[in-house]
């Protein structure tokens, strides 16, 4: 695991953990763009959403479940954004699949 997130998963770099189990880690984004900005990622090394295979569907379902749970814990269940950047042209900068859970303010258009 050679990305920043890989190092965080291995405990070699610090992060503010919000949720963790054997398969999934959620941490606070170091440069939040909203009052709630959490990164939810599989511990399995997957580059991006385009590199998922069919065996990963249960893991993706579990990530959605974790996102719902964190949204409720943070009190943003009435409005939040869950997104993933896939590839450099989409703005992905860390090539370990992760989902941004963003909320806590009125979110503008995706423009
Ligand atoms: P991407 O651009 O790949 O979709 O998202 C990467 C996210 O990781 C960015 O929102 C960025 O602020 C965040 N980030 C970059 N380095 C670190 C770090 O060392 N720790 C944490 N917690 N977040 C980071």
pLDDT in tens, 10-47: 999 999 999 999 999 999 999 999 999 999 999 999 99
Residue 109 domain-assigned (yes or no): no
Active-site annotation holds for 50: no
Dig out the tokens for 31 from the structure. 């440069």
Question: Is 64 inside any structural domain?
Answer: yes
The whole-angstrom separation of Cα 3 and Cα 71 is: 26
In a domain, 98, yes or no: yes
Please work out whether the CB of residue 93 comes within 6 Å of at least one atom of ligand 1. yes
From 31, 96, 98, 100, active-site residue: 98
pLDDT digits (tens, 9 = 90+) for 37-65: 999 999 999 999 999 999 999 999 999 99
Ligand 1 close to Cβ of residue 30 (< 6 A): yes
- Whether 32 maps to a domain, the answer reads yes
Does residue 110 fall inside a structural domain? no
Q: Which domain holds residue 65?
A: 4-103
Q: Give yes or no for residue 26 CB within 6 A of ligand 1.
A: no
Domain count of the chain? 1
CATH number at residue 39: 3.30.428.10
Rounded alpha-carbon distances, angstroms, from residue 87 to 58, 83, 99 = 23, 13, 13
Q: How far apart are CA 62 and CA 22, in angstroms?
A: 12
Let me know if 110 is exposed, middle or buried by CB neighbors in 10 A (0-12, 13-18, 19+): exposed
CA 79 to centroid of ligand 1, rounded, Å: 22
């Amino acid at each position: 695991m050679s990305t920043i997130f890989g190092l965080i998963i291995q405990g070699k770099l610090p992060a503010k953990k919000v949720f963790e189990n054997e398969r999934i880690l959620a941490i606070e984004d170091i440069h939040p763009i909203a009052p709630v900005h959490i990164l939810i990622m599989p511990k399995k090394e997957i580059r991006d959403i385009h590199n998922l295979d069919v065996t990963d569907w249960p893991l993706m379902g579990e990530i959605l479940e974790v996102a719902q749970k964190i949204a409720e814990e943070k009190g943003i269940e009435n409005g939040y954004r869950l997104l993933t950047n896939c590839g450099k042209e989409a703005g992905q900068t860390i090539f370990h699949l992760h989902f941004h859970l963003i909320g806590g303010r009125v979110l503008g258009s995706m423009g």
